[in-house]
């Protein structure tokens, strides 16, 4: 059984439902399990999460991506703990007032935790409904139509129905090669009768994402600790840690230009190869420059021991950059020492 599912006969805990649903946004079930258990160990209830430091929440979230979800998670916990007495709102409409809670998430929480008659239409449920009714309107325009069909099917036990529909989509009505003979809805599935089940739901054409390029600078001291700096509190990867970066543009900077973007003078060596990472709206390619120091240069940032890099708020792309910088051998110390 999924770790966030309530045992048979017991009411689901709204905190656990909310936590799992926020984590599952744009993330697979397989990826979420370990993070979910870790969060519950660190913060077993909403008041504990509200009292946590944002940096600690971001560090525990690192690797799940879409870090605005973690910031909204923390902000919503504070609202529930400090303004609502630690009790989650009882309806989908009131749940939507919480940071990071949209229509689907509100419906899922209210249906699963409170049995409110709501259609929790995640990607799995949308796929089932699109095929059941042979909805051929392209996504995301089809969402309103799919939600209406879903709402018409919701029975009295809305929470059980919501989870059953999600499970049906993830285990049987899969995006490729659905197991139609095993599906309890097979006899009524309009898409199967038309032989178009694998073509639904119709996806919108993929947008071409622009490509950005730049340089990153991995500085390491004699103990192996790596210099990281904190990103601005707003914008992409807000408040997360990163190695010092140069500017992002259409082309890689020349070595001479990249060294002018370095955080300080040093014997920077460019590693072979590049680091690639895809964001929602653009692709990023990064060249990595590395320097080692016997004495730490004076620079505002944090020196993080190598064994602690997985414990801090270092997003996946920045972890890839650091690991690429540390991957190759070379002299442990720079021959050039920074000034006092």
Distance separating alpha carbons of residues 30 and 112, to the nearest angstrom: 20
Residue 232, CA atoms < 13 Å, CB-side half-sphere: 4
Q: Provide DSSP, 246-314.
A: ---BSSPPPHHHHHHHSSS-S--EEPSS-EEEE-SS-EEEEEEEEEEESS----SSEEE-GGGGGGS--
Element (H, E) at 138: none
Q: Report how far apart, in Å, the C-alpha atoms of 107 and of each of 118, 144, 308 are.
A: 5, 14, 38
Distance separating alpha carbons of residues 221 and 294, to the nearest angstrom: 6
Residues 21, 126, 242, 287: which is the catalytic one? Answer: 21
21 has catalytic annotation: yes
Which residues are part of the catalytic machinery?
Answer: 21
């Amino acid at each position: 059984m999924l770790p966030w599912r309530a045992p048979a006969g017991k009411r689901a805990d709204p905190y656990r439902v909310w936590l799992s649903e926020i984590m599952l946004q744009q993330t697979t079930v397989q990826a979420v399990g370990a993070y979910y258990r870790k969060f519950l160990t660190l913060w077993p209830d909403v008041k504990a999460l509200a009292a946590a430091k944002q940096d600690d929440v971001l560090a525990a979230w690192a690797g799940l991506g879409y870090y605005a979800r973690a910031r909204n998670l923390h902000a919503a916990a504070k609202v529930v703990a400090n303004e609502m007495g630690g009790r989650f709102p009882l309806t989908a409409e009131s749940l939507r007032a919480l940071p990071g809670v949209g229509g689907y998430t509100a419906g899922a929480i209210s249906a699963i935790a409170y049995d409110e008659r709501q259609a929790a239409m995640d990607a799995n449920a949308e796929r089932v409904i699109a095929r059941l009714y042979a909805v051929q309107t392209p996504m995301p325009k089809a969402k309103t139509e799919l939600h209406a069909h879903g709402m018409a099917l919701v029975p009295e036990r809305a929470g059980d129905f919501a989870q059953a529909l999600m499970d049906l989509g993830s285990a049987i009505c899969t995006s490729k090669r659905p197991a139609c003979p095993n599906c309890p809805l097979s006899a009524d599935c309009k898409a199967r009768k038309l032989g178009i089940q694998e073509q639904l739901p119709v996806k919108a054409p993929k947008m071409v994402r622009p490509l950005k390029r730049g340089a990153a600078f991995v500085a390491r001291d004699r103990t192996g600790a790596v210099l990281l700096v904190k990103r601005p509190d707003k914008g992409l990867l807000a408040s997360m840690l990163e190695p010092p970066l140069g500017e992002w543009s259409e082309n890689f900077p020349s070595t001479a230009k990249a060294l002018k973007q370095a955080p300080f003078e040093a014997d920077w060596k460019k590693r072979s190869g590049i680091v690639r990472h895809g964001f929602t709206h653009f692709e990023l390619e990064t060249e990595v420059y590395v320097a080692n120091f016997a004495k730490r240069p004076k620079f505002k940032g944090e020196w993080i021991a190598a064994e602690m890099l997985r414990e801090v708020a270092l997003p996946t792309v920045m972890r890839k950059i650091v690991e690429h910088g540390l991957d190759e051998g070379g002299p442990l110390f720079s021959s050039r020492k920074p000034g006092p």
